[in-house]
Amino acid sequence: MKGTEMFSLEGKTALVTGAAYGIGFAIAEAFAAAGAKIAFNCRSREHMEKALEDYAAKGIDAKGYLCDVTDEKQVQEMVADIEKEVGVIDILVNNAGIIKRIPMTEMKAEEFREVIDIDLNAPFIVSKAVLPGMIKKGHGKIINVCSMMSELGRETVSAYAAAKGGLKMLTKNIASEYGEYNIQCNGIGPGYIATPQTAPLREKQPDGSRHPFDQFIVSKTPQARWGTPEDLMGPAVFLASGASDFVNGHILYVDGGILAYIGKQP
């Protein structure tokens, strides 16, 4: 492969979980631009129909599937349907996830379990479902959307940090266990990304000043800004393409340098 050919996803089938909007949508859009056929899931028909409209507006013929990725039977049925209707999955992005910002002493055990179920158990379930097809084809790419919380702790996110730390190690273990089948499993660790979900944290205050959390994040980021979903497009295509065929078990942090930075002296 030469030049940009190594980044081509032409003819590949990609499943991006939770790709109705935000980071997952941006990654799917990037894959489509590189030539991949796109499948995604939603738990809600309403969200899926809106996402299909958004994909169509971008000129992307994506296939949406109603599926709860924490339900192993539903996942197996979805993967079987994708194989029949789109193609055997070459690329999986485990993107679906939630966060509950609750102090640990106030968090109920069932709330903790819900985060673990979606953010850690689901990537195990979906990866398990696609691995046989990848083994049979003799190649495959699994990308787990990790987090800076795969490395750091922070107030109110005990469940999320536990799940994302576990996802980092699941990534390494899939690479260890299935590398011999020419399957690469890597992670992307986004920094703080400007999405609709984080918009309230970036709103101007009544006096015109920046939100305190906005100030905090910008001060901790060497590039002095929030990331955008578009910042994840290139790294995702790299990890999905032949350009990363000897990269395995790696977590690529796309965080503007936060993890490398101790911060300015007060």
Please list the active-site residues: 160
Identity at 197, one-letter amino acid code: Q
Query: How far is the C-alpha of 33 from the C-alpha of 125, rounded, in Å?
Result: 28
Query: How far is the C-alpha of 149 from the C-alpha of 181, rounded, in Å?
Result: 30
| Phi, psi dihedral angles at 66 (to 5 degrees) | -75, 120
| Phi, psi dihedral angles at 147 (to 5 degrees) | -170, 160
Q: Do 182 and 138 form a contact (C-beta atoms < 8 A)?
A: yes
For residue 240, the number of C-alpha atoms closer than 13 Å in the C-beta half-sphere is 35
**Looking up tokens 């935000």, which residue turns up?**
22
Cβ within 8 Å of residue 76, ≥6 positions away = 129
**Other Cβ atoms within 10 Å of 181 Cβ, number:** 14
**Alpha-helical segments (H) within the chain:** 22-33, 45-57, 72-85, 109-116, 122-137, 158-178, 212-220, 233-240
- Distances from the Cα of 187 to the Cα of 142, 167, 244, 245, angstroms: 8, 9, 12, 14
Q: Do 35 and 241 form a contact (C-beta atoms < 8 A)?
A: no
Identity at 214, one-letter amino acid code: D
